[in-house]
Amino acid sequence: MGIQEVQNQSGRQTYQKKKKTGSAEGFQESLLQNLKYRDQEKQAVTAAEAEAKQGVTDSQIGVKAKAEKVGIGRIGAVPGIRMNAAAAQETLQAVEVRHMSYEDSDHVRIAVTEGYTLKGKREGGAEARVYVEAKYEDGRQEAYQVEMAKVSGQTEHVIERFALETMQEGEETYDFR
Amino acid sequence: MEQKWSYLVEEYRTMLYRIAFSNMKNPADAEDAVQEAFLRYMKEEKPIQNKEHEKAWLIRTTIHICLDILKSGWYQRTVPWNESFENAAKNIYLPYQVRDDETLEAVLRLPVHYRNAIYLFYYEDYSIHEIAGILNEKEGTIKTRLRRGREEVKKILTEGRP
């Protein structure tokens, strides 16, 4: 006679029933959880797609809107360049980078110790404007159109100050720091 | 054919000379390096795809020639009599007037890997992407060199040593 026959005459193993019940409940619970998470994931993907589509629309609207959103604000983070974004938005308009060479520029500032270069060119006859192109150590390039009529002579803003210098300089000048 | 070579020399001679000079710091060695770069270009068997590739090839070759000369046993045993960083900064003949020689002198004092990245980025106005192509490095490497190089320039300017 074996050990099993002594303990359980029916020959049925008690542990089997116990295990099966628990396992089924656990499975049902995890299935419900998975379904719940899958719904949440779907919602997140849909939201991300909508956001991406919105981003494409933003870029189609034009550089100006984009710059108002991110471009001008970011310049403040670069060492050496500090600006009041609210004040600058009135005089600065972000435009497309033209990749102007040093030779084509009227005024150049090379600030090695501060990690950026600025190139300026006078534009527009009666409505004096200055095109300023900035290149940063981290690879970013930004360009601005500065409305000179709105720029204060006492401005401390780096781009505006540089635009003023570009207007004042009669000939091609280069400023190295 | 002769026309092509003369055009090539006219187009890139000055720029290559400046790059060679920033490495060699004396006119004679810089001229030798540029001449050697043109000779290698003429002997090059693989066709150069386009103008940008041509320019990048010439700059890269010039820098390599300079580094080879600097590493050569003969060069390391000799001292050019007119070499000084002050002279080098004054004699570099950039296409624009330099108001502040001190920063350029500091750049010329940098170790070679920082110097080439900084010189090409600030003084020759190349983008990080272009410099990465010219120096055959990753863009991230160039960004790091620019950042560390700038810190070294600051050190040289404030403490007088790299």
CB B30 within 8 A of CB B21: yes
Q: What is the pTM of this model?
A: 0.66
Q: Is the pLDDT of residue B55 over 80?
A: yes
What pLDDT, on a 0 to 100 scale, did the predictor assign at position A132? Answer: 94
Taking CB atoms and an 8 Å limit, are B123 and A110 in contact across chains?
A: yes
Calculate helix-pair angle for B2-24, B51-71, nearest 10 degrees.
40
Taking CB atoms and an 8 Å limit, are A101 and B157 in contact across chains?
A: no
* Residues in chain A with pLDDT values less than 70: 1-32, 35-89, 125-126, 170-177
CB B154 within 8 A of CB B110: no
Of residues B41 and A58, which shows the higher confidence score?
Answer: B41
Query: Over the stretch B78-129, which tens digit does the pLDDT of each residue have?
Result: 666 555 566 666 666 665 655 667 888 899 889 988 999 999 999 889 999 9
Query: Over the stretch B141-154, which tens digit does the pLDDT of each residue have?
Result: 999 999 999 999 99
A→B interface, C-beta within 8 Å: 101-103, 108, 110, 112-113, 115, 117, 135, 137-139, 141, 172-177
What pLDDT, on a 0 to 100 scale, did the predictor assign at position A47? Answer: 63
Query: Over the stretch A104-118, which tens digit does the pLDDT of each residue have?
Result: 888 888 999 999 999
The complex's ipTM works out to 0.77
The overall average pLDDT reported for chain B is 84
Nearest CA in chain B to A176: B100
What pLDDT, on a 0 to 100 scale, did the predictor assign at position A56? Answer: 41
Closest by Cα among B115, B12, B92 to B56: B12
Beta bridge partners of A122: A130
Q: What is the 3-state secondary structure (H, E, C) of B50-108?
A: CHHHHHHHHHHHHHHHHHHHHHCHHHHCCCCCCCCHHHHHHCCCCCCCCCCHHHHHHHH
Surface-to-core class of residue A137, CB atoms within 10 Å of its CB (0-12 exposed, 13-18 middle, 19+ buried): buried
